[in-house]
Amino acid sequence: MITDFKGKTAVLTGAGSGFGLECARIGAKLGMNLVLADVQQDALDKAEAEMKAAGAPVLARKVDVSNAQQMEALAAAAFGRFGAPHFVFNNAGVGSGGLIWENSVQDWEWVLGVNVWGVIHGVRLFTPMMLEAAKKDPSFQGHIVNTASMAGLLTPPNMGIYNVSKHAVVSLTETLYQDLRLVSEQVGASVLCPYFVPTGITHSDRNRPGAMAGEKPTKSQLIGRAMSEKAVGSGKVTAADVAQKVFDGIASDNFYIFSHPQALGNVQSRMESIVQIKNPADPFLARPEIGVKLKEQLRAAV
């Protein structure tokens, strides 16, 4: 929980676009110091210029969050400039779909590297700093928010590699919450589980590592990308709306932060299947026409 953000420090990964950029904008308005990290240099430069123009003290670094050494350098630079952060947003993420057996080793390493290892590095590097600051200062307030997804609570087909990564983030963050509660009342944790929100994640291929840049997507990956783009494009909740929910969640110490609470019925169906020891529920029960179309497309493609 953080009750007053003014003068506090935020570390934001994936800060060049989507939720990271929108949280940086809110942080600047609230008078925070900002540590901005992104793998895309042009987007990072633009975000840095905007936040400085808004009057925020800024430290910007190009960082591949899957790389331990680069994250360690980011943590050292952030601490050297602003001291222990108060708000850490482990937000950088990439998307990749397709039938789960069609994903290459490189696909798995890329998605798990960014979506899971990026969060792991953020937690292992910044949590000790925050706990040490809390030990020295009884008034210190800190909060870690990890970006998962509704795909971390559901298992929609044709996007298994993404589901796996986001389920890991939910589990990691729930455990982080419990671990923190054992050792401190001053540092909290939340998991962000957005549904279909326009953030640019459907165009994650722009940041695929060089060795993967020339790989052609499979037919199932192309089908999955088209469906995701359509769903995201029809969404009415914006990245700015979700960023405000993040700050509200921190201020009220809410662990689960959802962009679309109305989608929790699908989570309930999944959990009931588990508790009742039933086979997994139909993920398209509410929209059967989508399931029919996906099945037709995939059977024609494979």
The answer to whether the beta carbons of residues 115 and 39 sit under 8 Å apart is: no
What is d(CA 276, CA 301) in angstroms, rounded to the nearest whole number? 35
The answer to whether the beta carbons of residues 286 and 266 sit under 8 Å apart is: yes
Domain spanning 9-301, CATH architecture: 3-Layer(aba) Sandwich (3.40)
Of the candidates 162, 177, 195, 256, the residue annotated as catalytic is 162
The residues spanned by each domain of the chain are 9-301
CA 218 to chain centre: 25
User: Does 199 have pLDDT greater than 60?
Assistant: yes
Three-state SS sequence of 35-70: EEEECCHHHHHHHHHHHHHCCCCEEEEECCCCCHHH
Mean pLDDT of 179-204: 86
pLDDT digits (tens, 9 = 90+) for 18-33: 999 999 999 999 999 9
161: CB partners within 8 A, 6+ apart: 96, 97, 98, 100, 103, 107, 108, 111, 112
pLDDT confidence bin for 240, thresholds 50/70/90: very high
**Structure token pair of residue 85:** 């952060």
Residue 179: how many CB atoms within 10 A of its CB? 13
pLDDT digits (tens, 9 = 90+) for 210-228: 666 667 889 898 988 888 7
pLDDT digits (tens, 9 = 90+) for 69-101: 999 999 999 999 999 999 999 999 999 899 999
* Entry pTM: 0.93
195 flagged as catalytic = no
